[in-house]
Amino acid sequence: MSAQTGAVGILAGGGPLPARVAEAAAAAGRPVFILGFEGFAEPEVIAPWPHETVRLGAAGRMLSLLRAHGCTDLVLIGPIRRPSLRSLYPDAEGARILARLGRALFAGDDGLLAALVRLLGEEGFTVRGAHEFLAQSVAQPGVLGCIVPDEQAKADIQRGIQVVQALGRMDIGQGCVVQNGLVLAVEAMEGTDRMLARAGECRQPGDGGVLVKMLKPGQEKRADMPTIGPATVRNAHAAGLKGIAFEAGHTLMTDREACIAAADQAGLFLIAITPETFAD
């Protein structure tokens, strides 16, 4: 990451990661300003930092606040449900930006996010990936914790890789659940936790299945990297699964040690995989 002296602007959705990025940026000597998206950012997470809460449609206010706080680099982090156009109520600048996004508004999430990254660059900002600040939250290939996947789990992971890659090419989702070769659930816009609940309802007799989370092929990873946290582990356990496989180097762990501890306690494996070489 090239040296910068301006502030890091964090466009914050839900979860704890906006604060983790703020901590890492501040530790690197960078000023921090958080824009929390109304209805998504958690007030207690962003409260310790200079921040403002804004509506998703208030693009003019967003840009003016980022510039007023001297932001040069931006990080988009934390889940946000994709809003309907009718619910945005854009301000004047927001309407101009919506017009600039054009057909990307009606594309899949990755097409829209890639367009937003490009547009923010055109506005003079440098968009950074959260992983550039959170190196410790990105796992290298291998098993984390005490539990190791068995041969059936490895076969299910391989099947899950194929499924998620197919889903990703259609810009649908980043995850699926496979049990003994049977696809129990795939992730769409509802998110991982609700997919896991559905997988639990569809679980078949026998050994539990596997959650597989990966980047979509060609995805703009500065905007929407796959994320897992302790709640993911607990929900996987509640769904009767026996492990989680996620893409090494391209998945953020909201709390690495807590994820490992929760997985060990539940008897689940955690494995960071490289899809191209997993079967080798």
Q: Give the residue with greater pLDDT, 38 vs 34.
A: 34
- For the whole model, what pTM was predicted? 0.81
Instruction: Inform me whether the pLDDT recorded for 3 exceeds 50.
Output: no
pLDDT (0 to 100) of residue 2? 42
Q: Give the residue with greater pLDDT, 1 vs 19.
A: 19
What percentage of the chain has pLDDT greater than the value 70?
A: 86
Tell me the mean pLDDT in the region 96-125.
67
Instruction: Inform me whether the pLDDT recorded for 38 exceeds 90.
Output: no
Q: Rounded to whole angstroms, how far apart are CA atoms 271 and 139? A: 9
Tell me the mean pLDDT in the region 213-241.
88
Tell me the mean pLDDT in the region 133-144.
91
pLDDT one-digit tens code per residue, 69-108: 999 999 988 877 665 555 566 677 767 776 766 665 555 5
The tally of CA atoms less than 13 A away on the side-chain side of residue 268 is 27
Biggest alpha carbon distance in the chain? 58
pLDDT (0 to 100) of residue 189? 79
Tokens encoding 44: 């207690």
**Pairing label, strands 269-273, 142-144:** antiparallel
Neighbours of 230 (CB within 10 A): 18
Beta bridge partners of 121: none
**Pairing label, strands 269-273, 243-247:** parallel
Q: Give the phi and the psi of residue 271 in degrees, each rounded to 5.
A: -135, 130
Q: Which band of pLDDT confidence, cut at 50, 70 and 90, is reported for residue 279?
A: low
Q: Name residue 65's amino acid.
A: L
Instruction: Inform me whether the pLDDT recorded for 18 exceeds 50.
Output: yes
Q: Which band of pLDDT confidence, cut at 50, 70 and 90, is reported for residue 164?
A: very high
Tell me the mean pLDDT in the region 101-118.
59
Domains recognised in the chain with CATH numbers? 7-132 (3.40.50.20), 142-278 (3.40.140.80)
Tell me the mean pLDDT in the region 102-123.
64
Q: Give the residue with greater pLDDT, 173 vs 221.
A: 173
Q: Which band of pLDDT confidence, cut at 50, 70 and 90, is reported for residue 36?
A: very high
Tell me the mean pLDDT in the region 225-236.
94
